Structures are given as structure tokens and as C-alpha cells.
Amino acid sequence: MLFLTSPHLLLRPLSADDAAHFATLLGDDPAALQQMAQMPDPCTEAAARAWIVSRLGPGAHVFAILRRQDEAFVGVVGFGGNPAMPEMGYWIGKPYRANGFATEAIGCVVDYARDLGVPRIHADTFPDNPASARVLAKAGFVTLGMVERIFPARGGRRELFRHVRELTPDS
């Protein structure tokens, strides 16, 4: 089993058993759910399990974020899609925000993607989520501008900010 580590975090492959953590951390956080393009709302354990299972399998690069000191489940980070520029997504549970965990976890996954030979990676943020845009900037992403995507669960056609990080060996 692949583990990624950083000073404060341990990242391990996500498993269907993590659905209970999703339900606990996101079940009463509708504002966070609205910032996630594809997470079920409400986030029940069954809905979370279905979301997780859809992201497991060959080529899966989705990790549970655990706090090293006590292995508390704090969130999720991962990437997938187009190999030339996969999309990264992440979330941190409300009790664990503002501790630098998102930036640290993204850094681990960026290094991992670079080691796999991924040339660049992108992440999109909703305009009403400047905190996520700041996290990506801290992690070395550059905002390219707006893109339009369709998210039926989030109101249909939406404009988002596109952030990109080049993954050259020295970046």
C-alpha cells in the first residue's frame, strides 16, 4: 500500500470504509459541500461510500489525509482524469481547517504526480471560495482565468477559476 508523508500528515489510499469519516465531517457542513463539484449533498455514509467506490481502482490517486500525531482523518486529496493535465481535488473537515493541512497535502500529491511523470495538474475553484484559491496559490498554482463547467448537482452551468501547476523536475 502506497503511503505519502509530510511533517504533519500521512496520506494513504482512500478506502470505502472511509465513508463514515465523510459523513461525520461533511454531514453537517452544507457550505463545504456546495464548494465540491461532485460530492453528494447531503453527505450520508451511503452516498459517501458510492462516491469513494467510483474513485477506486486502477490508476486511482485519491488519498485519505491523516494527521500524523494521532492518525485522525482530516480530509481527502487526489487527482485523476486526463493524463496530460489531470484535475486535483481536496477537502479538509471543518474542525481541521486553518492548520495548513490542505497546502501540505497538496504538496505531497504534487510531488507524487511529478514522480509519476505528470507534466502539469489543474484545480478549479468556485468564485465564492477564495480560501481554496489561496491554498492553491500557496502550493504553487497559478490562476489562468475562468472556465465553464456543468455540475447538475450544483445548479448546472457554473463558472470557475482554473489554477494550474507545472510539474517540471525543478518546480
3-state secondary structure of 117: coil
Give a yes or no: residue 10 inside a domain: yes
pLDDT at 126: 84
- State how far the Cα of 159 lies from the Cα of 43, in Å rounded to an integer: 23
How many other CB atoms are found less than 10 A from the CB of residue 170? 3
List average pLDDT for each run of 10 residues in the chain, which is 171 residues long. Answer: 88 92 78 61 79 80 95 94 88 91 96 94 89 94 86 70 88 61
Give a yes or no: residue 24 inside a domain: yes
Give a yes or no: residue 92 inside a domain: yes
Cα atoms in the 13 Å half-sphere on the side-chain side of 130: 0
Q: Which three cell numbers stand for residue 13?
A: 489510499
Give a yes or no: residue 139 inside a domain: no
Give a yes or no: residue 171 inside a domain: no
90, 131 in Cβ contact below 8 A? no
How many other CB atoms are found less than 10 A from the CB of residue 14? 24
Give a yes or no: residue 12 inside a domain: yes
Give a yes or no: residue 89 inside a domain: yes
Q: Which three cell numbers stand for residue 127?
A: 468564485
Give a yes or no: residue 142 inside a domain: no
DSSP string across 14-81: --GGGHHHHHHHHTT-HHHHHTSSSS-SS--HHHHHHHHHTT-STT-EEEEEEETTT--EEEEEEEES
**Could you list the residue range(s) of the whole structural domain that residue 93 is in?**
4-122
Block residue for cell numbers 455514509: 45
Give the CATH number for residue 101. Answer: 3.40.630.30
Non-local CB neighbours of 25 within 8 Å, separated by 6+ positions:
73, 75, 93, 94, 95
pLDDT at 15: 92
Domain total in the chain? 1
Cα atoms in the 13 Å half-sphere on the side-chain side of 65: 29
